[in-house]
Amino acid sequence: MRALVIVHDHLSTAGHVGERLAERGYELDELLVVPAERYTTPDVDVAFPAPEDYGLILTLGAPWSVARRNAWIEAELALLRSAQRAGVPVLGICFGGQMLATALGGDVEAAPRFELGWSRLTTDAPELVGPGPWFQFHGDRWLLPPGARELARTDVASQAFVCGRSWGVQFHPELTPEVLQAWFDEDGAAIAAEVGVDPERLVAELRADLPAVRARARALVDAFLDHIAASGSK
């Protein structure tokens, strides 16, 4: 089985989620959208493959907004719509979840405040998405598409939804300490200062809690594969 992993920027990886997909038998084909040299000028041209060539699509986070609606964002939205029509399951994480919601007829807007750090969720389906804590790093939030079922939320944003065989989550189950440190080193430290959190403390907490973080990510991937991708919305 092949999975298309859409990596939007050079600092990010599929992390724990990709690790569990590989353990579950998926061969991961990574597509980097914005190369390192275009990080500050990300309006690039990208040729996305046909979704029917894959058994699953994983689309990751990004430091930009879906509202940018440049050429590659429009092309990825078209890819996700095609995947939905073809019945190819999609797991969208943070920006990827916002892309999925927008592709399916929802939208994206600025959240009332930036969520950065650990949060616990109010969940309607703990067998699918547990209360966490999960790591947040986003300033936008999605508006649910028609026919979607919200699974979890915080007081700031919807945190998980399912629509057919696809699932969007707003938090970062994939996150490793190395990737989080890279985000802070690039441009996240300014955001952390603005919202009043300590980057060093957050990286240290993630590293200290790594076994539990990995276990939560594995459980989330298993729930997606076994209950959403396998049989659609439940």
Cβ neighbours, 10 Å, residue 199: 18
Rounded Cα gap, residues 76 and 13, in angstroms? 18
Confirm whether 174 is a catalytic residue.
yes
**Helices and strands, counts by H and E, the chain:** 7, 10
Pick from 161, 115, 104: nearest CA to 140? 115
- Residue reference for tokens 């019945």: 87
From first CA to last CA, the distance across the chain in angstroms is 24
Strand partners of residue 31: 6
Q: One of 16, 115, 172, 205 is an active-site residue; which one? A: 172
Report how far apart, in Å, the C-alpha atoms of 66 and of each of 13, 16, 45, 105, 207 are.
19, 24, 16, 13, 30
- Residue reference for tokens 């300014």: 190
Rounded Cα gap, residues 155 and 49, in angstroms? 37
Q: One of 16, 19, 76, 94 is an active-site residue; which one? A: 94
Residue type, 41: T
What 8-state DSSP symbol labels residue 66?
G
Phi, psi angles (nearest 5°) of residue 78? -65, -40
Give me the active site residues, please: 94, 172, 174
